Amino acid sequence: MSRGRSALILIVLAVIGVAATVLSVHAFRRHAPAGPAIDGVTSSPPLGWNSWNVFGCNIDERRIEQAAEAMVSTGMRDAGYRYVVIDDCWFDPRRDESGELRANPARFPHGMKAVADFVHARGLLFGIYASPGEATCAQNGGSYPGRTGSRGHETQDAQTFARWGVDYLKYDWCGPPADVDELVDSFTIMRDALRATGRPIVYSVNPNSGTVVPPGQYERFRGVATMTRVSQDLVPAWDAIDAYDTSLGVVDALTNAARPEFRCSAQPGFFCDYDMLVAGAPQVAGINLPPLNEAESRSQLALWAVWGSPLIAGNDLARMPDSLRALLINRELLAIDQDLRRAPAVSLPGSAGTIWTRPLADGSTAIVIVNRDDSAQPFRAAFSALGLPKTRQFDVLDVFAGTRSVQKLTYRTSLAAHDAVLLRVRAIDDQH
């Protein structure tokens, strides 16, 4: 063999080797063993507030400060809510000369670090919004000027967020339709940039904005993000899918979660996000549907708690009614949501998603019963059919009513239209 041909073969083999290495790293990045995406962040589903559902793009420094103050004065902070998250439209429409993001000077005249400092001084944590594309959702939709997405600026933006004191990043796809591999790769770039800052930043991704992830593919985001959205946008309505086919109401989210092909289960450092709470939020412009009433708000909170979803409120905290405040800070509801066992909730077969059960760390079982109908309905279910041991007596805590009772064999109730009951049930040993 000639020396030239040998050299050519060595070059070809080297190129193949490099390509194989790149492919191997690429495949490993997509399918790496699950673990926390970002070390040092919360080990429980995050609790907090986000500006979008109540204010949309109409945000400014004072409104965010009022939300932080209200989170303290309403008792939400003491109940476990920590994150104050500014959504889209906080930034100057243009980056500075060095390519860095900066706050909109008219809306946030003191800058984002000052807002973060204000939030931190109240014992809370600070969150912000960005997008992996060239533009954010509001920019793509024409409701906010500029093109300040993070594509090509991921390292720079992550360092900026860390320098400002950001504790939570909502990263919203807002791009054209994409397959799961492309989504995972795009979100992984920012994950790596956040890791490199050394700051523990909760990384919340939404792959369902501009595209739709197949319902069996959400666990692909384990190790990529702290929490991933598992549905399209939720709007403040009971049933929105017929009126607004790119968003969901509460009952639509229930239907999706009950689909047999749906797969998403929590693990330490990874949570399935069913979207922000719409209880108490005003209706979205252009949707001719009433916002949630009190019964529908109970249903959303009950479902989100039994699913173990992050609870990110979206109402005006400074002006919420006492009934909504009591719902948001219900300690028993929050304990179910935050349960350390992280067991998945299961929809009772044949219930069309109206009955959910979830085993809890202390041996009790959380049960949610939802009335999907437009009129009051009676419900009856044997405790044994709900996965509880076959015994004659059960200790039953009604989370919303705050009452405890001993019941036998079968649970019976009547629910108003669109209302729900959330129970924590424990079998009583007949020998004691």
Residue that has been written with the tokens 């595209």 in this structure? 211
Q: Tokens for 129?
A: 């919004």
Q: How far apart are CA 71 and CA 300, in angstroms?
A: 20
Nearest to 202 by CA among 365, 72, 61, 47: 47
Q: Where are the alpha helices (DSSP H) in 121-209?
A: 137-141, 154-164, 180-197
Q: What is the DSSP string of 152-171?
A: T-HHHHHHHHHHHT--EEEE
Nearest to 74 by CA among 422, 338, 315: 315
Decide: 425 and 367 in contact? Cβ < 8 Å: yes
Q: Tokens for 263?
A: 């797969």
Decide: 249 and 234 in contact? Cβ < 8 Å: yes
Decide: 170 and 206 in contact? Cβ < 8 Å: yes
Name residues whose C-beta falls within 8 Å of residue 408's C-beta, 6 or more positions apart in sequence: 392, 393, 394
Nearest to 425 by CA among 47, 378, 414, 413: 413
Residues forming beta bridges with residue 228, ordered by sequence position: 205, 272
HSE-CB for 367 with a 13 A CA cutoff: 28
Q: How far apart are CA 189 and CA 152, in angstroms?
A: 10
Decide: 227 and 194 in contact? Cβ < 8 Å: no
Q: How far apart are CA 16 and CA 158, in angstroms?
A: 34
Q: How far apart are CA 280 and CA 12, in angstroms?
A: 63
CB count in 10 Å sphere of residue 214: 12
The secondary structure element, H or E, covering residue 206 is strand 202-206
Decide: 291 and 237 in contact? Cβ < 8 Å: yes
The DSSP output letter for 418 is: T
Residues designated as active site = 172, 233
